[in-house]
Each structure stands twice: as structure tokens, then as C-alpha cells.
């Protein structure tokens, strides 16, 4: 059977493949410690679930408009006005099925056949594939480990061509945890504005920045970027709502309308009950976020030093998100392997620990180790890795 060329160009999701493999092994009885998780291990806050129950009782079970309920779009626009001083109106907001669904619609709306989209590596694995599915070409721009994997304007500038349509910025970054400060943001924004390139800022990990560092949203760059800015985020990670599938984009009305047209012929809208729950999450108490952040910080302060103590593992400190991204090339010799995907496979096979290999993020030589798992689980996972390495060194 012959499949469409655009589908053949796209690779399956590395992270979802890891999850499927771990689920398969667990079903077959394997005792696994899963540090491959790309989602919070917390449950959705109770008042958010209650809002969905109430909405169901009120029979809010029908279609909404494609763009989402007016009250939700207003709450989203207000958040960026109050926090970042941005001037988005409710009509500049598109709610959709997760950040992933909204990003897909925005990229479809912006990228033409042959257009280039700059993507900083290491990257979340869906960016290049979504660009390819739109007929575009992802242009990978390297970041440097010794600079904390921070996207640099100079590195971006060197890769721009007349075909560059957009650049995707992800802060805090999955998988590296890099967090853009105001200076780095300003340099990127000035370059993009000068060259007329749209910045797509993916901020799904915005709630997770550590050590008192401020989170700087792309929305704060609106005075420089103007019409060249689309902010994408979701409630998935911040509010532990991955399964509800609620994300959103804010941007110039023309782009938002075009992305809504794409969504109109695809998912239609974000699920109605999820929109009701999302409104409660955005407008209700933010205390659960603080509690979750404190717990992630506690796990991070155990995990990073524990990984640094393992011979052959070099781990810098992530500033945000909930992943460690150590270099594991020092384990190739002891484990008798030649790549990080083989390290990940050996860890599953010989230590029963699930991680995600760096290859899927455009960063061979690394592993992504999630701390969206309870501290005892993280401790067990690290102990198992350390014991395996100690045996082999």
C-alpha cells in the first residue's frame, strides 16, 4: 500500500513509542521504574474536576464555537494582559485540543510548501514532524550544552534564509529545562522582528521554573514582535490536565482565524467539559500549582546531584520543566554500547528503568529522565542505574 508522501516524511513520536514499550513490558509482568514520563504524576486539582461535574449537570455537553467559549477566551487573554502587559483580546485567542493540536493548526496556517521553520535542538520531538506535515522544512539550530542549551540569536541568524517563515522557541524547554531570560528573549525578538519572522513561543512548562528565577513569556516581547508573535500554551502540565486536552494560542487575529479554519475541519474545538474545567483552573485558586512546583523542586534537588554522582553521567542543572537531561556518552564503554538509544535499551533490559533516549530530541548522547514521578520512585530508579553502572565499571 502506498501512503501519502507527507506522512512518510514524518517520524512517529519517540516519547509515545517509549511509553507504549514500557506499557507492553509492564503488561508482560516486568518490574519497571518509569522515569520516561512526559506528564505530571499529580491528579487534576479537585475544584477543577468539580467544575467539570457541575458543567455536566448543567448539560454543557454540546458544541462550542470553534475558537472556544467566550468566557474561556477572555480568561486566557486577561492572564497575558495582567501578567505580561500584552494586548491580546479574546478574539486573538484560539482554544484547542492541547498545545499539540493548537500548534499543529498554527503551523498549518503559517507554513507553505518549501518554507523553512527554525527549531532549536534539543527540541520537543513533534516540532520538526509538524513542520514536515505542513510541507515545510525544519531547520535545526544547535544550542550548546556549556551555555545551558539556551537558544542564541547569533546561532539562529546564521541559519536564516529568505525561506525562513518562523522560529519555534520553547522555554522552559522539554527536554533540557533551559529557561530564557529577558536578555536572551530580547535578542531573539529583535532579530525576528528585523527579519519579519514569526516567533512561535511554546510555553507549556511555564509553571515550572526553579530557584526563584522569573518566567519570561514571549508575550512580554509583544512590543518588539508585534504581529510576529504567536504564544502557545496549555493546561496539561501546569494544572495536571494532560488527558483533558485543552491548549490555546494567542496571536495576530489573521493567524488565529486561519488556525481556527484548520481546526474547524479537524478537531472542531476543545472538548466542552474541558473548557469549563479549564476556566475554573485559570480563574480559581492557584495554590495547587505552588504545591506541585514545591514538590518538583524537592525531587529535582535529589535527582540532579544523585545523577552527578554516577560515574560516566554528566548532568547540568535544569532551570525549568521536570526533566534531567544528562550526557551519558561516558556509559558507552562500561555498558558496551555505542549510542544513547542503546543506553536507554540497556537500562530497561538490565535495570528495569525507563528513560527516553536523546535521539528523539535531536540530541544523541543524552537521556531524558523525568522527575514527574514520586520521590521514592525516582530514588529507586537512580539506585538501579547506579548499581548497574557500578557493576560494569
117 has which bridge partners? 138, 166
Chosen residue from 122, 151, 247, 318 binding ligand PLP by CB under 6 A: 247
Chosen residue from 13, 242, 286, 341 binding ligand PLP by CB under 6 A: 242
**Interface mask toward ligand PLP for 176-195; x: CB under 6 A:** --------------------
Chosen residue from 98, 177, 288, 381 binding ligand PLP by CB under 6 A: 98
Site residues for ligand PLP, 291-330, by CB under 6 A, read none
Query: Considering beta carbons, is residue 42 or 332 the nearer one to ligand PLP?
Result: 42
Task: Pick the closest to residue 175 from 313, 362, 335 (CA basis).
Answer: 362
CA dist., res. 198 & res. 196, Å (int):
7
Residues in binding contact with ligand PLP, number by CB under 6 A:
13
**Interface mask toward ligand PLP for 138-177; x: CB under 6 A:** --------------------------------x---x---
CA dist., res. 217 & res. 54, Å (int):
32
Query: Considering beta carbons, is residue 247 or 320 the nearer one to ligand PLP?
Result: 247
CB of 247 to ligand PLP, least distance (A): 4
Stretch that binds ligand PLP, among 53-61, 94-102, 178-186, 255-263 (CB under 6 A): 94-102
CB of 280 to ligand PLP, least distance (A): 17
CB of 391 to ligand PLP, least distance (A): 33
State the chain's maximal CA–CA distance in angstroms.
Answer: 63
CB of 244 to ligand PLP, least distance (A): 9
> Dihedral sign, CA of 95, 99, 105, 109?
positive
CB of 32 to ligand PLP, least distance (A): 20
Q: Could you say whether residue 370 binds ligand PLP (CB under 6 A)?
A: no
CB of 115 to ligand PLP, least distance (A): 21
Chosen residue from 100, 300, 366, 368 binding ligand PLP by CB under 6 A: 100
Q: Could you say whether residue 244 binds ligand PLP (CB under 6 A)?
A: no
CA dist., res. 69 & res. 90, Å (int):
10
Stretch that binds ligand PLP, among 95-103, 113-121, 155-163, 356-364 (CB under 6 A): 95-103
Chosen residue from 106, 204, 207, 230 binding ligand PLP by CB under 6 A: 204
Chosen residue from 80, 88, 104, 124 binding ligand PLP by CB under 6 A: 124
* Cβ count within 10 A of residue 58: 9
Stretch that binds ligand PLP, among 56-64, 114-122, 234-242, 329-337 (CB under 6 A): 234-242
How far is C-alpha 270 from the chain's CA centre? 19
Stretch that binds ligand PLP, among 68-76, 98-106, 287-295, 311-319 (CB under 6 A): 98-106
Q: Could you say whether residue 236 binds ligand PLP (CB under 6 A)?
A: yes
Chosen residue from 18, 37, 38, 319 binding ligand PLP by CB under 6 A: 38
Closest residue to ligand PLP using C-beta atoms: 98
Contact set with ligand PLP (CB under 6 A): 38, 98-100, 124, 170, 174, 202, 204, 234, 236, 242, 247
Amino acid at each position: 500500500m502506498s501512503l501519502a508522501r507527507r506522512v512518510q516524511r514524518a517520524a512517529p513520536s519517540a516519547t509515545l513509542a517509549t511509553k507504549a514499550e514500557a506499557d507492553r513490558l509492564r503488561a508482560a509482568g516486568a518490574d519497571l521504574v518509569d522515569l520516561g514520563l512526559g506528564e505530571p504524576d499529580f491528579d487534576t486539582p479537585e475544584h477543577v474536576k468539580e467544575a467539570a461535574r457541575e458543567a455536566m449537570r448543567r448539560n454543557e455537553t454540546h458544541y462550542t464555537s470553534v475558537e472556544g467559549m467566550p468566557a474561556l477566551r477572555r480568561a486566557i487573554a486577561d492572564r497575558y494582559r495582567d501578567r505580561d502587559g500584552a494586548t491580546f483580546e479574546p478574539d486573538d485567542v484560539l482554544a484547542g485540543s492541547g498545545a499539540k493540536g493548537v500548534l499543529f493548526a498554527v503551523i498549518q496556517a503559517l507554513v507553505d510548501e518549501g518554507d523553512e521553520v527554525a527549531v532549536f535542538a534539543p527540541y520537543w520531538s513533534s516540532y520538526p514532524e509538524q513542520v514536515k506535515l505542513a510541507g515545510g522544512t525544519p531547520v535545526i539550530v544547535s544550542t550548546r550544552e556549556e551555555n545551558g542549551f539556551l537558544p542564541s540569536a547569533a546561532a539562529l541568524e546564521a541559519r536564516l534564509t529568505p525561506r525562513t517563515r518562523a522560529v519555534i522557541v520553547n522555554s522552559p524547554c522539554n527536554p533540557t529545562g533551559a529557561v530564557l531570560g529577558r536578555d536572551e528573549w530580547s535578542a531573539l525578538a529583535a532579530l525576528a522582528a528585523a527579519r519579519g519572522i514569526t516567533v512561535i513561543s511554546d510555553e507549556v512548562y511555564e509553571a515550572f521554573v526553579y530557584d526563584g528565577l522569573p518566567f519570561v513569556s514571549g508575550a512580554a516581547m509583544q512590543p518588539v514582535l508585534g504581529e510576529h508573535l504567536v504564544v502557545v500554551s496549555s493546561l496539561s502540565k501546569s494544572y495536571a490536565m494532560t488527558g483533558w486536552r485543552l491548549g490555546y494560542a494567542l496571536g495576530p487575529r489573521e493567524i488565529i482565524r486561519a488556525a481556527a479554519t484548520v481546526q474547524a475541519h479537524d478537531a472542531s474545538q476543545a472538548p466542552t467539559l474541558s473548557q469549563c474545567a479549564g476556566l475554573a483552573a485559570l480563574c480559581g485558586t492557584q495554590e495547587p500549582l505552588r504545591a506541585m512546583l514545591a514538590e518538583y523542586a524537592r525531587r529535582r534537588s535529589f535527582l540532579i546531584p544523585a545523577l552527578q554522582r554516577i560515574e560516566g553521567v554528566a548532568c547540568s542543572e535544569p532551570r525549568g520543566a521536570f526533566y534531567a537531561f544528562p550526557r551519558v556518552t561516558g556509559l558507552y564503554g562500561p555498558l558496551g554500547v555505542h549510542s544513547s538509544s542503546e543506553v536507554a535499551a540497556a537500562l530497561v533490559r538490565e535495570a528495569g528503568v525507563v528513560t527516553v533516549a536523546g535521539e528523539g530530541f535531536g540530541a544523541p548522547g543524552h537521556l531524558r529522565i523525568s522527575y514527574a514521578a514520586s520521590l521514592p520512585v525516582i530514588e529507586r530508579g537512580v539506585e538501579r542505574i547506579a548499581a548497574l553502572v557500578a557493576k560494569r565499571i
